[in-house]
Amino acid sequence: MEVYESEREQIDAIKKWWKENGKAVIVGAILGFGSLIGWQQWQANVQAQRESASLEYDVMLADLENSQYQSVKDRGAHILSNFQDTPYAALSAMSLAKVYVEEGDFNSAKTYLQIAIDQDDQPQLKQVAQLRLVRLLLADGDAAQALSNLKTIKVGGFGAVVNELEGDIQVVLGNRDMARVAYQQALDAIETGVDASLLKMKLDDVGGPEADS
């Protein structure tokens, strides 16, 4: 940094610097203020989008409850097209999958479940969609792919569900011993107070607890 010998030299230097750079400083300040306003406007737009998507989704759920499937499809497509950056896009995709399952169109249902799965910013919703896709693959006769998909799920709080589903898949694949292990793990992971009678029946059907074999 240059060392100034007098106050006058400092003042002159400041004047010179301002003459050369003042315009850029003013423009930068304006741009900075504009960025702040732009950020606030963006936030307002995001909130407005969420509110609009929420209203659309509420109507979609009412249509679904009343089995107005074509209305569900139309509104779901609208939400996916116009509000894809909101949580309601994934929720709508799952509702659309439900409609197509009801209609027996498993391929379309799989497509929409995959759309929900691709929403990485909602991990719990993603896990639910993954589990539904695994069940759908199993129901559609593709047990091997169902098992492959199941292995990609981060268990989290779904330990009992994942293990029970693995047991179901192993039964279809003819692996009774592996099914028994999975069912036992599911039974060990099940929360207190949850009805485990069906799970115990499944375990009995494949040989019962290992200690009793």
Q: Are residues 125 and 172 in the same domain?
A: no
Q: What share of the chain is helix, strand, coil (3-state, %, to 5)?
A: 80, 0, 20
Q: Are residues 136 and 177 in the same domain?
A: no
Q: Are residues 146 and 47 in the same domain?
A: yes
pLDDT at 120: 65
pLDDT at 122: 77
73-79, long-range: CB within 8 Å, 24+ apart, which pairs? 73/99, 79/53
| Tally of CB atoms within 10 A around 70 | 9
72 located within any domain: yes
pLDDT at 197: 92
The region of weakest confidence among 100-109, 153-162, 201-210 is 153-162
CA–CA separation, 56 and 38 (whole Å):
27
135 located within any domain: yes
Q: Which is more confidently placed, 53 or 76?
A: 76
What's the average model confidence in pLDDT over 207-212?
70
Q: Which is more confidently placed, 138 or 33?
A: 138
pLDDT at 33: 58
Which string of DSSP letters, residue by residue, matches 82-95? H-TTSHHHHHHHHH
Report yes or no: 133 and 153 within 8 Å, Cβ to Cβ.
no
Q: Are residues 102 and 178 in the same domain?
A: no
Looking at every residue in the chain, the average pLDDT score rounds to 82
For residue 190, the surrounding DSSP H or E stretch is none
* Statement: residue 94 has pLDDT above 70: yes
> For residue 94, what is the domain's CATH number?
1.25.40.10
* Statement: residue 130 has pLDDT above 80: yes
Residue where a domain stops, chosen among 136, 154, 172: 154
pLDDT band at residue 21 using 50, 70 and 90 as cut-offs: low
Q: Are residues 133 and 210 in the same domain?
A: no
Q: Are residues 146 and 166 in the same domain?
A: no
2 located within any domain: no
| Tally of CB atoms within 10 A around 21 | 11
Q: How far apart are the first and last CA of the chain?
A: 86
Residue where a domain stops, chosen among 116, 134, 154: 154
208 located within any domain: yes
Q: Are residues 91 and 184 in the same domain?
A: no
The one-letter amino acid at 121: D
Residue where a domain stops, chosen among 138, 154, 170: 154
204 located within any domain: yes
pLDDT at 3: 35
Q: Are residues 134 and 180 in the same domain?
A: no
Two tokens, residue 7: 């106050």
Domain extent, residue 202, equals: 158-213
pLDDT at 166: 96
66-77 tens-digit pLDDT? 999 999 999 999
Q: Are residues 128 and 181 in the same domain?
A: no
What total of structural domains would you count in the chain? 2
Report yes or no: 142 and 168 within 8 Å, Cβ to Cβ.
no
Listed residue (154, 135, 155) closest to 145, CA to CA: 135
Q: Are residues 141 and 166 in the same domain?
A: no
Q: Are residues 52 and 142 in the same domain?
A: yes
pLDDT at 191: 85
Q: Are residues 89 and 168 in the same domain?
A: no
